[in-house]
Structure 1
Amino acid sequence: MGEAAQPGGTGERSAIVVGAGIGGLAAGVALTRIGWRVKVLERTAAFGEVGAGLSLWPNAVRALDALGVGEQVRAQALAETQAGVRDVSGRWLSRTDTQKLARRFGPVVMIHRARLFDILRAALPADTLCGDTRVTKVTLRGQRVEAEHDKGVSLTDLLVAADGIRSTVRHSLWPQAPAPRYAGYTTWRLVVDTGRRLSAGGESWGRGERVGMAPLADGRTYLFCVANAPEGQLSPGGELAELRRRFGHWHDPIPLLLAAADEDAVMRHDVYELPPLAGFVTGRAALLGDAAHAMTPNLGQGANQALEDAVTLAALLDSSPDVATALAAYDRHRRPRTQMITRRSRRIGTVAQWHSAPATALRDLMLRLTPGSATLNALTPVLDWQPLARDRLIAARAG
């Protein structure tokens, strides 16, 4: 890829999306379907997602409908039937009425991240994805953006940075932006096959530790475990052994799932979040997904918000008189909402990771006393999001 293609004589506009994760692919699909010529640059040679499950809340499902792939996702996903929080013995502290949630907001569905990636990738033109292309520097050039990368230099009308929490683009164009900060806990993620589908999901909370479980459509189970830990710590005896040591005595079916797990399936990552940025836009460049608002996973909204970003950006570009107006509107729409959700997720994580016995006893008591209706009401500002009216044109043009 040398000098990037210029806008065509027919008025076609060009965009570069940096990063081919879920947010980057969604942005590529959305921009392609409103008539933009798009290249998605990914630093790795192979395209794919890690082997973990993903909760798609009703707001994300609406975003996928706006992209024209909602039905494909629902066909490959499993609707959650039971959720809530238990203690280490298995006693329910709080239960979520998933049927009531579905009636009020729409269903919550679980899907393997790799399957969602495949659906989004298939929705892009074949020549859109450019692998093994690491962006090293981005420079604003008036009404264009210049991206330097392994294969040369590209000039484009719009650059969308979807390159994650340690975004190269953010570092280039927002040099004063705060660095990601450690949340104080680490997480292990894995997919387990016991030969039998899990009947119920949800989380279990202990003292400074948590376990979450969710059944997948193919019969396997997505399992995640969380623990307070020093930043950068690894387990000398292996991560699976550490999980069995920490959680092997918790309630069923956690010991069974850990007994069936393979060491190679365990992924461990410290949890970080991005402090609030003063803006998501500069010149003709916009931040999207974790590059803009990386959040802790406690609300399960990280990828969901990236999907919202993508369809909102495309809708505003499609309906605004010029790119600058659209990007200004994107910042006004997305920054307050995503930063609100980031704060909520952080607060949940703080309470969930309490370690002292008095604090966790009080927390568990409050969970038991809180009615389910209050939980649904608290979720309303997150789940009642609707695509902008123009977003529906994205799906219409895909037909």
Structure 2
Amino acid sequence: MRGLAVVAGGGVAGLALARGLVAGGWDVEVHERAAGPPATGSTLGMWPHAVAALHRLGLDDLLSARAVLAARGELLRTDGRVLASLAPRGDVRFVDRPDLLAALADGLPAGVVRWSSPLAADALDDALERADVLVGADGLRSVVRPRVAHARPRPPHQVAVRGAARGGVDRLAETWGRGRIFGTTARADGDTNVYAAFAAALASPAEREDPLGLLRRLYAGWHEGVTATVERLRPETLDVRELHDLPPLPAYARGRAALVGDAAHAMAPNLGRGACEALVDAVALADRLLAAPDVASALAAYDAERRGPTRRVVRASRALSRISGSTRGAPARDAAAALAGRVARAATAGARGHRDVR
């Protein structure tokens, strides 16, 4: 089947879907709020099923030239003692978000991505009149979602700071303390990707205006791997945001509208699976639209394929978010961190065996 797809949102899910559909002969319009691709951004973990999706989209060059292989990792106490070791199972990579978005957009025909052109709620009827399918790839506060299902983002209980530090690391390291975590991964440019998450009650809105000062305060007294990294942070890269997720939706498609990525299943970042699931959503939806005889059967197949697996990931991510944000004492926290290591290993194995990419 071929037709016209109108896509709200030019992030990972929207661009991946456009790439998959254009390759199959579809006409696509991607409406994106931003003026152009981002120049900076965090590093994304690509689990095996997401790596398979990138291969499916023809992005082998990105994986070979701009991705870092994840070889090993550790969960640590605040004094530096190792609580659990992580050995990724299968092909796991780290890719910088700007590199991923640039690679997804590269090669799309001119005019497919319409920068500075968000799709407003009052334009959806017109879009549905023109298009064979309308896709919401517009994130947590999607304007398309009400056409499919009604859900409000759940209140945050954690805040995240993401950024980059000068100098490199050779492994993933995540340190757990009372009500906060601090993690580092490698970047393709040789610097270090940094992410910190902490209970929202630990920092007032005013304190969040100075993220470097806030991190110095929250992680003072932790082992040197954390405190030295904080001092190497590049302040211009720091991004602060509250961590929301979505309750389970009853459907990812209704009529001729569908949802992909965070619009369907925004999740806590603790398993590092948000961008992965967005990529797999996009490939699954593109494949169903290309193979099915009509839009209705394509969207029904997509919904049946993706809703169950992503619900499970959202639940697991939310559970780990609550564990990592716990303010309980050290013994309970350390036991929870060791459990989180087992959950993360199981999640890697589950991603490797995913049936969503064909």
TM-score, normalisation: structure 1: 0.83
Post-superposition offset of 1:15: 0.8
Indicate how the Cα distance of structure 1 residues 78 and 332 shifts in structure 2: closer, same or farther if over 3 A, else same: same
SS in 2 for 1:244: helix
Q: Report the aligned-residue RMSD.
A: 2.3
State the match for 1:146 in structure 2: 126
Q: Is the 8 A contact 1:295 1:345 kept in 2?
A: yes
Cα-to-partner distance string for 1:184-220 (whole Å, 9 max, x where unaligned): 00000001113xx213222110000000100112110
- Separation in 2, partners of 1:32, 1:158: 14
Task: Determine the structure 1 residue equivalent to 2:98.
Answer: 114
2:166 alignment counterpart? 193
1:260 aligns with 2:260: no
In the alignment, is the contact (CA less than 8 A) between 1:14 and 1:158 conserved in 2?
Answer: yes
- Deviation of 1:388 after TM superposition, in Å, equals 4.5
- The 3-state SS of whatever aligns with 1:81 is coil
- Which amino acid counterpart does residue 283 of structure 2 have in structure 1? V
Map 1:300-339 → 2, pairs under 5 A: 300-339=272-311
Alignment match, 1:60: 50
Q: Which residue of 225, 228, 238 corresponds with 2:199? A: 228
Paired residue secondary structure (1:117): helix
Pairing partner for 1:166 from 141, 145, 149:
141
Q: CA deviation at 1:37?
A: 0.7
Please say if 1:23 is aligned against 2:19: no
Query: Any idea what the Cα deviations from partners look like across 1:314-362, whole Å, max 9, x if unmatched?
Result: 11112211111000111111111111110011111111111121xx412
Give the unaligned 5+ runs of structure 2: none
Relative to 1, partners in 2 of residues 1:342 and 1:73: Cα closer, same or farther, differing over 3 Å?
Answer: same
Structure 2: distance between partners of 1:354 and 1:183: 14
Deviates more, 1:264-273 or 1:376-385: 376-385
Residues 45-54 or 14-23, more deviating: 45-54
Matched residue type, 1:56: M
Residue matched to 1:394: none
Secondary structure of the 1:160 match is: strand
- Hey, what's the Cα distance between the residues in 1 that align with 2:199 and 2:340? 28
Between structure 1 and structure 2, the one with the greater Rg is: 1
CA-to-partner distance for each residue in 1:147-177, whole Å, 9 max, x for gaps?
Answer: 39xxxxx721111110010001114x14x61
Deviation at residue 363 of structure 1 after TM alignment: 3.8
Query: Is 1:243 matched with 2:218?
Result: no
Instruction: State how far apart, in whole Å, the 2-side matches of 1:353 and 1:13 are.
Output: 46
Is the CA contact 2:320–2:340 (under 8 Å) kept in the aligned structure 1? no
Greater CA deviation, 65-74 or 337-346?
65-74
Alignment partner of 1:72 is 2:70: no
Pick closer, same or farther for the CA change 1:247–1:16 going to 2, 3 Å: same
Structure 2 residue aligned with 1:7: none
Alignment of 1:66-105 (within 5 A): 66-98=56-88, 101=89
Matched with 1:205 is 176
Q: How many residues end up aligned between the 2 structures?
A: 357
* Equivalent residue letter for 2:91: P
CA drift of 1:227 comes to 0.6
How high is the TM-score relative to the length of structure 2?
A: 0.93
Query: 1:376 matched to which residue of 2?
Result: 345
Point out 4+ residue stretches in structure 1 off by more than 4 angstroms.
370-375
The aligned amino acid for 1:164 is G
